[in-house]
Amino acid sequence: MSEGIKEHCGLFGVYGHKEAARLTYLGLYALQHRGEESAGIASFDGNSVYSHKGMGLVSDVFDEEKVSRLGGHVAIGHVRYSTTGSTTLKNAQPVLVDYSRGTVAIGHNGNLVNGAILRAELEARGAIFQTTLDSETIIHLLARPEHKNFEESLVFALKQIKGAFSLVIMKEDQLIGVRDPHGWRPLCLGRLGGAYILASETCALDLIEAEFVRELEPGEVLFINKKGPRSIKPFGESKRVAHCIFEQIYFARPDSYIFGESVHLVRQKLGHRLAQEHPVNADLVIPVPDSGTPAALGLSHESSIPLEMGIIRNHYIGRTFIQPLQHIRDFGVKVKLNPIRELLKGKRVIVVDDSIVRGTTSKARIKKLFQAGAKEIHMRISCPPIKYPCFYGIDFPTRKELIAANNSIEDIRKFLGVTTLGYLSVEGLLSCVSCPKNYCTACFTGDYPVPFGGEANKFATEYKGY
Ligand code: AMP
pLDDT in tens, 389-421: 999 988 877 888 999 999 999 999 999 999 999
Q: For ligand 1, what atom is nearest to the CA of residue 403?
A: 4
| In the predicted structure, residue 50 carries a pLDDT above the cut 80 | yes
The average pLDDT across 225-231 equals 97
Q: What are phi and psi of 234, to 5 degrees?
A: -85, -5
DSSP 294-305: HHHHHHHHHHTP
Choice from 7, 355, 381, 418 to test ligand 1 binding pocket (greatest atom count within 8 A of CB): 355
Question: Helix (H, G, I), strand (E, B), or coil: what is residue 30?
Answer: helix
Q: How far is the CA of 115 from the centre of ligand 1 (A)?
A: 26
175: helix, strand or coil: strand
Taking CA atoms, 269 is separated from 74, 202, 246, in Å, by 39, 20, 15
41 burial class (0-12, 13-18, 19+ CB within 10 angstroms)? buried
> Is the Cβ–Cβ distance between 418 and 377 less than 8 Å?
yes
Q: List Cα–Cα distances, 43 to 68, 69, 74, 231, in angstroms.
A: 11, 10, 5, 22
Q: What is the pLDDT of residue 325?
A: 67
CB-CB contact of 382 with 426 (8 Å):
no
Tell me what percent of the residues of the chain surpass a pLDDT of 90.
80
345-371 tens-digit pLDDT: 999 999 999 999 999 999 999 999 999
Q: Using only C-alpha atoms, what is the Rg of the chain? A: 23
The larger pLDDT score, comparing residue 224 to residue 144, is at: 224
3-class state of residue 188 by DSSP: strand
Per CATH, domain 10-241 is 1.20.1050.10: no
DSSP assignment letter at 197: E
Q: Which DSSP string do the residues of 398-442 spell out, in sequence order? A: -TTT-HHHHS-HHHHHHHHT-SEEEEPPHHHHHTTSS-GGGEE-H
Q: How many C-alpha atoms does 391 have within 13 Å on its Cβ side?
A: 26
Q: Give the pLDDT of residue 298.
A: 98
Amino acid letter, 83: T
Kind and range of the H or E run holding 159: helix 150-160
What pTM did the predictor assign?
A: 0.93
Give 327-344 as a DSSP string.
--TTHHHHHHEEE-HHHH
Residue 264 has phi, psi (to 5 degrees) of -60, -45
Quote the ligand 1 centre to 219 CA distance (angstroms): 30
Distance in angstroms (rounded) separating the CA atoms of residues 341 and 329 = 19
Alpha helix segments (H runs only) across 255-304: 263-277, 293-303
pLDDT at position 460 is 39
- Report cis status (omega within 30 of 0) of the bond before 290: yes
> Poorest-confidence range of 44-58, 88-102, 166-180?
88-102
Query: Ligand 1 center to residue 268 CA distance, Å?
Result: 19
Q: What is the DSSP string of 444-464?
A: HH---SS--SHHHHHHHHHTS
Residue 359 CA: nearest ligand 1 atom is 2
Nearest C-alpha to atom 20 of ligand 1 is from which residue?
395
Mean pLDDT of 327-343: 83
For residue 159, how far is its CA from the centre of ligand 1 (angstroms)? 34
Helix (H) or strand (E) holding 350: strand 348-353
| Sign of the CA dihedral running 108, 453, 85, 386 | positive
- In the chain, where does the domain assigned CATH 3.40.50.2020 lie? 257-445
Atom from ligand 1 closest to the CA of residue 353: 10
DSSP state of 37: S
Residues of the chain with CATH 3.60.20.10: 10-241
Q: Whose CA is nearest to atom 19 of ligand 1?
A: 395
The 8-class DSSP code of residue 70 comes to: S
* Active-site residue set: 9
Between the CA of 131 and the centroid of ligand 1 the distance, in Å, is 28
| Non-local CB neighbours of 362 within 8 Å, separated by 6+ positions | 353, 356, 379, 416
pLDDT in tens, 268-283: 999 999 999 999 999 9
Task: Please give all residues whose beta carbon lies within 6 A of any atom in ligand 1, as ranges.
Answer: 250, 288, 291, 353-362, 394-396
Distance CA 185, CA 81 (A): 15
Give the pLDDT band (50/70/90) at residue 261.
very high
Which of ligand 1's atoms lies nearest the C-alpha of 396?
19
Secondary structure element (H or E) that encloses residue 174, with its range? none
Residue with CA at minimum distance from ligand 1 atom 15: 355
Which residue's alpha carbon is nearest to atom 6 within ligand 1? 356
pLDDT tens track for 298-321: 999 999 999 999 999 998 876 556
Give the CATH class of 257-445: alpha beta
The answer to whether the CB of 259 falls within 8 A of the CB of 186 is: yes
Closest Cα to atom 9 of ligand 1: 355
| Three-state DSSP state, 154 | helix
